[in-house]
Structure 1
Amino acid sequence: MKKQFAALKNRLTSISREEPLNKLSLTAIIILDIIILHILFIGLEDHTRQLTSASEYMPHTAREMVIQQSWTPANRISKLQPLVLADRNNLRYRYESPFDEQKIKVMHPDAQRFYSQAKILSEDKALHSLFLNRKKAAEERSRTENAFEKAKKSYDTQLLENIANAARTGANAAATTAQQYNEKIGRLTGEIDALENGINAHPGIQTLWKIVSPNDAERDRIVKDYKRFQFWFPLKELAWQLVFLLPIFGTFYWWNSRSIKKDNPIQTLISSHLLVIASLPIILKLIELVIDLIPEHFFKNLFKFLKSLHLMALWHYFLIFAIIIIGLLIVCFIQRKLFNKQKVLQKRLARGACTACSKRLPPGAVYCPFCGTGQLRTCTACGKQTPSGGACCIHCGTNQTGH
């Protein structure tokens, strides 16, 4: 495994052992990698969007109506109104109707019933007119109520001032204005009540209200279906994303293997980078699935079990020891892979420094003038003296790291 990673690293950063990749070419390739990776994620997002999500399976309005049961006889007309008038009120060019057949087709059966019936109601011209008139009357009443509140505050202020000045002319005028607003509010409320009575009397609305008010058994069934969909959705999403990613990964893997077999350095370099780029989304999606499922299911049950036994302290002990172990592994990796003895010696040799004390040596020095350490050793192959920090003999090229 270690040798394979080292070989992959060489293929990513050099054309061949004799021809290393210069920094400008490597920069250009990395920029291309970033562009291709960006396009790959955009394509993955567009492909994933074709899969039915939880919000499409049970839209917000349906969840609010059936699961949360926040639609009551007092507010359900107000909640239904924006949906019935949705197609009329939206002016965006890229607007998508909530009653699109493809959208309704992928919904939960009970949500389908609701949206199909709401679509029929939105196309009823007489009912549409009732909702539109109610909307206008409600907006007018809202404006009048705001004006009434302002007039009431003005009346209260003037009344206090007039009491102090022993005059009531301004207060009477303010009271008259407030009374007019109050009368208008009453008239508009009567209009809205009459319109709502007309809406409730419509046969299609009565059918919809039956759908909106499921009994407890029906609600429990719908909630169970929705939870089941949410549970399996991450696995379905990953499988659907792999349908998009695996052919690309397979193509790049085949190209890379063929390039290595035919010893084509340029194609090996490019295909190696593309293979890594195609691997990243797969690895990230697998990690995302693990992170999504493990905390949601495993840890939830684990915490529940520990709490029932009053042993939550065990979890914190585990976290402390886990962090210590991770820290030790990180330190070991840094020391053994990045700053091991052989690499330190090679860096000191490259700087012309002593392999022991790291102080710069005079040109041609065999021993360090500061600590007296010898800078040469005998090659096991040719028997000649070679720098002790070097990986290979300077005379015969034999690798010295294994001796």
Structure 2
Amino acid sequence: MFARINRFFRQFFHRSRTINNEPLNRVSLIVIVLIDIFILSNVFSGLDDISRWHFSPTEAYPCYSQWQNYRNETKKNKDFEIIKLALTQQKDNLSFPQQAQQSRLGKLSEICLSFDGIKNKVANTENKKILENITSNQSKISNLEQANRTIRNQYDSSLLEKIAGQPRNQSINTVGAEKAKQDLDKNTRNIATLNQENSNFQNQLLTNPDSYTFLVFLKDNDKFTVVEKGYNQAAFWYPSIQLALQSFFLLPLIIVALLVDKFAQRRRYGLVSLISWHLLVIFFIPLILKIFEFLQIGIIFKFIFDIVSNILGGLLFLVNYIYILLIPLIGFGIIKLAQKFVLNPKSQASNRIQKSRCVNCAKKIRHNDAYCPHCGYYQYVECPNCHSMTYKHLSYCKECGYSQESNNSD
């Protein structure tokens, strides 16, 4: 296994920096690397764009988060807070869904569209005026409370000055004890009055027909259950959909690069073969990364997670053990496929033999060398027809022309 991996990487780096088995000069290598970086950045940019083509769970169910927060809230005034939020963050989303669905995949929740429509109606002129009054009163209350804190800080020292008989003009405080007590009582009464006004305003806000309709909608358990179920289902499938879209973006590029690479090798277009090989590698890098990412959050992870949870209960760390065993096997499978279809010595044997190179590692050897001095590979095989020694991996015997397919399949 390790010998195969070692041979794979040798062939990989050899192909990446040679043209017709001749090494690249430094300038050419720098140019190739710059091209690789530019293309790779564009590939990742394209992957990011296409991954957002389908509506995300948050976009498909835009009301879920706010609705869930409202239901989880334990404050007594949560009805007022949600109405206040609807007034302060109100925006017109009604024209967005129709435009978005024309250019993007997926479907927006009809319940969330209704949610937005009802929520937007809350922001009518009457409710806005009531909220302005509440905000104004709250500002006054804050000012009065600050004034009371200042008065209380000075009251004790003013009272001591009065008991000591200190003249008023020698006091370090802005007001005397009597005046401080009067101002404190007055401010407290004003605060109570403003709080009562705000309480009345809040009741008006909550009993407004549009506000009441919105609150009734929020408290509809059946509608929320439908939204929650849809959101969870969308969240489950979204990584798989993203991977499918990203694969849809990458696979045509990989296929084209592979076909061009094969064509260039047959026609011996060295530079075209080198560039197509680099493109092939560049297109495979993000695909492999996305597959590994999918294994961490996609359907496969959920499947393994559920099995481990059901069988072993809380020993969920064993999922990592499974991945530690699984990922190397997947990597080994990728290497095997690459050796079979891309770095297969059989497909390159003819060109290598003509240039007196090893049919396995492609390094220069002498014409009559039976074994490669670089990798130790035996270059010949016995023809089943004439029993002469002929080159490995060629289609026909060099002595009698007999087909070597049976030898090559071994």
Q: C-alpha displacement at 1:208, in angstroms?
A: 0.7
> Are the counterparts in 2 of residues 57 and 107 from structure 1 also a CA contact under 8 Å?
yes
Is 2:201 aligned against 1:232? no
1:69 aligns to what? 71
> Are the counterparts in 1 of residues 122 and 214 from structure 2 also a CA contact under 8 Å?
no
> Are the counterparts in 2 of residues 151 and 174 from structure 1 also a CA contact under 8 Å?
no
1:272 aligns to what? 277
Q: C-alpha displacement at 1:45, in angstroms?
A: 1.5
1:358 aligns to what? none
2:138 aligns to what? 138
Is 2:205 aligned against 1:203? no
> Are the counterparts in 2 of residues 113 and 211 from structure 1 also a CA contact under 8 Å?
no
Residues 130-179 of structure 1: CA deviation (Å, up to 9, x unaligned) = 3344344334434544x156326514663686599576964444444444
* Aligned equivalents of 1:144, 1:397: Cα separation in 2: 101
SS in 1 for 2:71: coil
2:395 aligns to what? none
CA RMSD of the aligned region, Å?
Answer: 4.0
Is 2:157 aligned against 1:151? no
* Aligned equivalents of 1:285, 1:164: Cα separation in 2: 81
Q: C-alpha displacement at 1:219, in angstroms?
A: 4.2
2:59 aligns to what? 56
Is 2:20 aligned against 1:11? no
* Aligned equivalents of 1:164, 1:31: Cα separation in 2: 87
* Mapping 1:351-370, distance limit 5 Å: none
Q: Percent identity?
A: 21
Q: C-alpha displacement at 1:212, in angstroms?
A: 1.0
* Aligned equivalents of 1:160, 1:301: Cα separation in 2: 75
Structure 2 residue corresponding to 1:290, chosen from 292, 295, 308: 295
* Aligned equivalents of 1:206, 1:11: Cα separation in 2: 71
1:46 aligns to what? 49
Residues 57-106 of structure 1: CA deviation (Å, up to 9, x unaligned) = 333x633424760456622222332332335xxxxxxxxx5625335975
Normalised to the residue count of structure 2, the TM-score between the two structures is 0.64
> Are the counterparts in 2 of residues 12 and 269 from structure 1 also a CA contact under 8 Å?
yes
Structure 1 residue corresponding to 2:197, chosen from 191, 196, 208: 191
Is 2:83 aligned against 1:84? no
SS in 2 for 1:252: helix
* Aligned equivalents of 1:38, 1:175: Cα separation in 2: 72
Q: C-alpha displacement at 1:213, in angstroms?
A: 0.7
Q: Which has the higher contact order (CA 8 A, sep 6+)?
A: 2
Q: C-alpha displacement at 1:54, in angstroms?
A: 1.9
2:169 aligns to what? none
1:377 aligns to what? none
Residues 259 and 304 of structure 1: is their aligned pair in 2 closer, same or farther, counting only changes over 3 Å? same
Q: C-alpha displacement at 1:210, in angstroms?
A: 0.8
> Are the counterparts in 1 of residues 94 and 116 from structure 2 also a CA contact under 8 Å?
no
Q: What residue identity is the alignment partner of 1:255?
A: V
> Are the counterparts in 1 of residues 261 and 277 from structure 2 also a CA contact under 8 Å?
yes
Residues 119 and 14 of structure 1: is their aligned pair in 2 closer, same or farther, counting only changes over 3 Å? same
> Are the counterparts in 2 of residues 44 and 244 from structure 1 also a CA contact under 8 Å?
yes
Q: C-alpha displacement at 1:289, in angstroms?
A: 0.9
Q: What residue identity is the alignment partner of 1:193?
A: S
2:305 aligns to what? 299
SS in 2 for 1:111: helix
1:29 aligns to what? 32
* Aligned equivalents of 1:186, 1:35: Cα separation in 2: 67
* Mapping 1:161-172, distance limit 5 Å: 170-172=176-178
Q: What residue identity is the alignment partner of 1:274?
A: L
Q: List gaps (5 residues or longer) in structure 1.
A: 88-96, 327-390
* Mapping 1:240-279, distance limit 5 Å: 240-279=245-284
* Aligned equivalents of 1:263, 1:224: Cα separation in 2: 58
Residues 313 and 81 of structure 1: is their aligned pair in 2 closer, same or farther, counting only changes over 3 Å? closer
* Aligned equivalents of 2:258, 2:162: Cα separation in 1: 91
> Are the counterparts in 1 of residues 20 and 268 from structure 2 also a CA contact under 8 Å?
no
> Are the counterparts in 1 of residues 86 and 122 from structure 2 also a CA contact under 8 Å?
no
* Aligned equivalents of 2:364, 2:285: Cα separation in 1: 36
* Aligned equivalents of 1:119, 1:30: Cα separation in 2: 54
Q: In the comparison of the two structures, how many residue pairs are matched? A: 321
* Aligned equivalents of 1:203, 1:393: Cα separation in 2: 91
Q: List gaps (5 residues or longer) in structure 2.
A: 102-106, 167-172, 329-362, 379-410
2:360 aligns to what? none
* Aligned equivalents of 2:148, 2:302: Cα separation in 1: 50
Residues 184 and 240 of structure 1: is their aligned pair in 2 closer, same or farther, counting only changes over 3 Å? farther
Q: C-alpha displacement at 1:274, in angstroms?
A: 1.4
> Are the counterparts in 1 of residues 94 and 113 from structure 2 also a CA contact under 8 Å?
no
> Are the counterparts in 2 of residues 130 and 195 from structure 1 also a CA contact under 8 Å?
yes
Residues 212 and 392 of structure 1: is their aligned pair in 2 closer, same or farther, counting only changes over 3 Å? closer
SS in 2 for 1:69: helix
